[in-house]
Structure 1
Amino acid sequence: MDKIAHDVGDIQSRLLDHRPVLQGEIRYFVREFEEKRGFRECRLLENMNKLVYETKEQVLPRCTKSMQANLPDALNQLEDVNHMTQRIQKRELEHQHSILLQEGTEKRKADWEDFLKEQSRLKEEVDEEHAKAVGRLSTQYSEMKKDHAKFSQF
């Protein structure tokens, strides 16, 4: 029975106790990270830290100074460009407006010419009707004169 308890204990420690496996993995990781790589990552991190510090202490103030010195000039140039763009846009709108006015004027001229042609045609019709009416009245008055001459002889 003692042997069975001992075997069950061995089986339990192999199945449930992971400490030896974990310790082996930890030793492998430490050996891989520290010994084989030779603290390469630490040196890279230190270099990055130096680079960030230099950037913060030297490059950032220079960039800020340069920006403060050049930003007003850039702003003035942008305002000038904006003003020129607005003038160009205004000229373009005026040009489009003048084109629309010219097209409107040409359309009104064409409408006026059509109106004058129509009036001329209507005038001719009225003149023809007037000429016919004058002809009828002349005929009627000449007949009346003849009739009057007949009656005045008696």
Structure 2
Amino acid sequence: MSGGGTETPVACDAAQGGKKRDSLGTPGAAHLIIKDLGEIHSRLLDHRPVTQGEIRYFVKEFEEKRGLRELRVLKNLENTIQETNECLLPKCRETMECGLGETLQRLQAANDSICRLQQREQERKKVINDYLTASEKRRLVQWEEFVSGQPQRRAEVDEEHRRAVERLREQYAAMEKDLAKFSTF
């Protein structure tokens, strides 16, 4: 292999028909080396076949266990539904029917009470509105009487004021006369 010469044929090569084995420097030899390395690599480092077998086994086990677990869950669910249909549903229906009649009676009584209260409130509002309307009409009549009587009252007050002013003038005139009598002294 060293020395750059050609290799001598090996006995098995001679048995193959005298075909010479490729030397390391030729392209065919590199191909054989790569092929050998690939086989070594696949045997030592490539664990895909083993891994795939393990994965298949794991999936099979998982599906079997999962199938059994789901079967148990479905059985439990079926038992629960059956128990509900046979025991709980009739009890609930019976309780509802008993309580529903009583509840309906209470609701009807409450509804009647509320209707009476609303009717009383409406009647009270109507009475108050009627009273307010009547009071407003009375006050309007009183106001009109007051306004229509104002000119007459004003005339009376003006006349009374004029008389009072006249009386005061006469009184002051008399007082001035009396004062004039005394001032001559």
Which of 131, 151, 154 pairs up with 1:102? 131
Structure 1 residue ranges (4+ consecutive) displaced by more than 4 angstroms after TM superposition: 25-30, 122-125
Distance of aligned partners of 1:98 and 1:26 in 2 relative to their CA distance in 1, 3 Å threshold: farther
Distance of aligned partners of 1:94 and 1:27 in 2 relative to their CA distance in 1, 3 Å threshold: farther
Distance of aligned partners of 1:110 and 1:39 in 2 relative to their CA distance in 1, 3 Å threshold: same
When normalised by structure 1's length, the TM-score is 0.55
Report the equivalent of 2:62.
32
More helix by share: 1
Which of 70, 79, 90 pairs up with 1:61? 90
CA distance in 2, matches of 1:29, 1:116: 109
Note the alpha carbon deviations across 1:36-73, whole angstroms, 9 max, x for none: x4722221111111010000001111111122222221
CA distance in 2, matches of 1:82, 1:75: 10
Which of 143, 147, 171 pairs up with 1:114? 143
Distance of aligned partners of 1:104 and 1:26 in 2 relative to their CA distance in 1, 3 Å threshold: farther
CA distance in 2, matches of 1:98, 1:28: 89
Distance of aligned partners of 1:114 and 1:30 in 2 relative to their CA distance in 1, 3 Å threshold: farther
How many aligned positions are there? Answer: 104
Q: Would you say 1:83 and 2:112 are equivalent positions?
A: yes
Report the equivalent of 1:136.
none
Specify which structure has the bigger relative contact order, considering alpha-carbon pairs within 8 angstroms and separated by 6 or more residues.
2
Unaligned runs of 5+ in 2: 1-54, 157-185
Aligned identity (percent) is 25
CA distance in 1, matches of 2:84, 2:74: 15
Unaligned runs of 5+ in 1: 1-24, 129-154
Q: CA RMSD in A?
A: 2.9
When normalised by structure 2's length, the TM-score is 0.47
